[in-house]
Chains A and B, each alone.
Chain A
Amino acid sequence: MNPMSTTDTSTQSPEAAAVPSPGSARARSARKAGQGHRRLLTRRDRLTLGLMAGLPTILHVALVWVTALASIALAFTTWDGIGFDAIKWVGLHNFTELFTNNPQFWPAVEHNVIWFVALILVPTPLGLFLAVQLDKKIRFSRAYQTAFFLPVVVSFAVIGFVWQLVYNPDTGLINSLIGANEPGRYIDWIGDPDLNLWAVLIAASWRHTGYMMILYLAGLKSVDPSLREASALDGANEWQTFRNVIFPTLRPTNTIVLVVTIIEALRAFDLVFVFNKGAEGTELLSILVTNNIIGESSRIGYGSAIAVVLLVISLVVIIPYLVATFRKERRA
């Protein structure tokens, strides 16, 4: 269980406080209780339980995991989608084709990496900084939070349209302000392959900052106030207190932030699709996968190979994170 949810649930449910046995003792008693439960179950209860756990699992596994595995299988085939007989095993052909022959693939990988690096370097520290400031029992904290968090609530599609109004070469805010909205002096923020990724990333960072701020605010709320007091008594200034005392205790939050940011960078799709459909300069792995489905040519095996690359990168992140999370939960 991540620590934030621990603190949140315990503050939300007064019942939790009523459980006296802490830590491993509690887990042991829970296990015992579980066995006790089992003995009391009638046949009908077992059936009910089976259905309760089974139906949602079947739906989830069928639509998420079976399809993920199918992606892997299809990546080694070529298929036009008409009839199962047409599926042909081609081995690693799709991958060699992808790695050596696709002019969009490596730029897409690069852009996904840039997406992550940009998000972790700019909006994440900014979100942390804002959270630290807003955590100081400051007046109007609520109003500031609302302003920073507003972009997180709005859909990526709407964000895309709103930022197009800012970037439009003719009518957009930026070009109008700097006088670049006349023929010959246009700055094409969305069309220019050297500029458009950064233009989209500004919009993405705009949203990400608020998200990170909220996560860090929750993390900061669970920092023991006496730590701060002790540090202040020791004569540490604000920066020293933050660096040596507060930031180390934010470790669990940092882990979550890192995972969320990586996943966001891999999932990035809507914003780019609305901006320019992933034209030159803004190719992303997610866009390439989708283009192989709804694009002019439906190349199922090839699209799946790109999806597998995406899957492998995601699992490298997801599995260690979950293993660590669940191991901690077991210990708790």
Chain B
Amino acid sequence: MSTTVATGAPKKRIPVRPARILLHVFLTGTALAWLAPLLWAVYAALRPYAETSEKGYVSWPDKLNLENFTNAYQQSGMTHYFVNTLLIAVPAVLLTLFLSSMVAFYVSRFDFRLNLFLLLVFTAGNLLPQQVIITPLYRLYLLIDLPGITVSGKLYDSALGLVLIHVAFQSGFCAFVLSNYMRSLPHELTEAALVDGSSVWRLYWQIVLPLCKPAMAALATLLSIWIYNDFFWAIVLISTGENMPITSALNNLSGQYFTDPNLVAAGALLTAIPTLIVYFLLQRQFVSGLTLGANKG
């Protein structure tokens, strides 16, 4: 351990001490090691298969191009799967925020006896491993006939089914975070509005919700990434490969179209790109969302 004690000398330009330099060397080294697997994937994806099969993967490159990316994208028809994800994730995120904010509003603004219990039910449900409920859920989805509503005629193998389970599962976490947030808003605010005769709905929609924007933004970012990254629900609840969202489709695609490691690397990285973009653009929201209700795996 270094000997840099954090003394209370604010704003003084701290002379660069050897310990600090050592710390930077350590952190840079570790950070590079952390990025190594991803960089290795990028490197493999940038090299033509012919070259790597001849020279081996650990070798100096002759040619670097994006061909693997375009091939992986076109051969597997990735656009289709990205659209599938979009059709699942956008409604799921909006619906989760809408429903959980209503529950949170009720729980935080109206002190009925049920509140704590309700919140407990939602939060505990969200902490359960998905596999605990999957067997009956799978059977339930097969049992529910929805002729004409979903393509499969059932809740099983449909985007609707995935949206519903995402909403049901994630709303627990969001209700918990949002109710904590709403509780920090002054009570006088809603009381005054009620005295003025505004309806409960107006109270929720025009007064409380707009004040929750920061928390909603953080949760929206977090939910988008989680739902985009979901693998398990779609693997079990979707049977037709064509209906899979991108993250789960990756598993089938890698067997069918991504025939060599270079294409696998390119395909996997393409799948990661949207999450990375969201993360880099909305890093603050993502991290604050994660620590806001840090009880989530």
Contacts and interface: CB of A to CB of B under 8 A. Distances in A.
A86 interface: no
A300 B136 CA distance: 8
Given A33-B187, A163-B37, A314-B127, A256 B1 contact: no
Contacts of A214: 287, 290-291
Contacts of A266: 129
Contacts of B128: 64, 68, 311, 314, 318
A325 to B, nearest CB: 8
B90 interface: no
Interface in A173-226: 173, 176-177, 181, 206, 209-210, 214-215, 218, 225
A154 B232 contact: no
Contact of A67 (B5, B137, B251): B137
Interface residues of B, number: 129
Interface residues of A, number: 132
A33 B261 CA distance: 63
Contact of A136 (B6, B120, B121, B140): B6
Which of A36, A40, A229 has the most chain B CB atoms inside 10 A of its CB?
A40
A64 B106 contact: no
Given A9-B181, A214-B290, A289-B135, A229 B7 contact: yes
Contact of B38 (A29, A150, A228, A260): A150
Contact of B232 (A38, A165, A209, A269): A269
21 contacts: A13-B185, A15-B211, A29-B187, A33-B187, A49-B106, A63-B137, A68-B125, A68-B132, A71-B132, A140-B24, A153-B275, A153-B286, A154-B272, A171-B52, A171-B56, A267-B129, A274-B231, A293-B138, A310-B131, A318-B128, A326-B120
Given A229-B7, A330-B116, 15 more contacts: A1-B183, A5-B294, A9-B180, A34-B109, A52-B106, A56-B99, A59-B171, A63-B165, A63-B169, A68-B128, A70-B140, A133-B23, A161-B264, A294-B235, A294-B236
Interface of A: 1-2, 4-6, 8-10, 12-13, 15-16, 18-19, 29-31, 33-38, 40-42, 44-45, 48-49, 52-53, 55-57, 59-68, 70-71, 74, 81, 130, 133-134, 136, 138-140, 143-144, 146-151, 153-158, 161-166, 168, 171-173, 176-177, 181, 206, 209-210, 214-215, 218, 225, 228-229, 232, 236-239, 241, 253, 256, 259-260, 263-264, 266-267, 269-270, 273-274, 285-286, 289-290, 292-294, 300, 303-304, 307-308, 310-311, 314, 318-319, 321-322, 325-326, 330
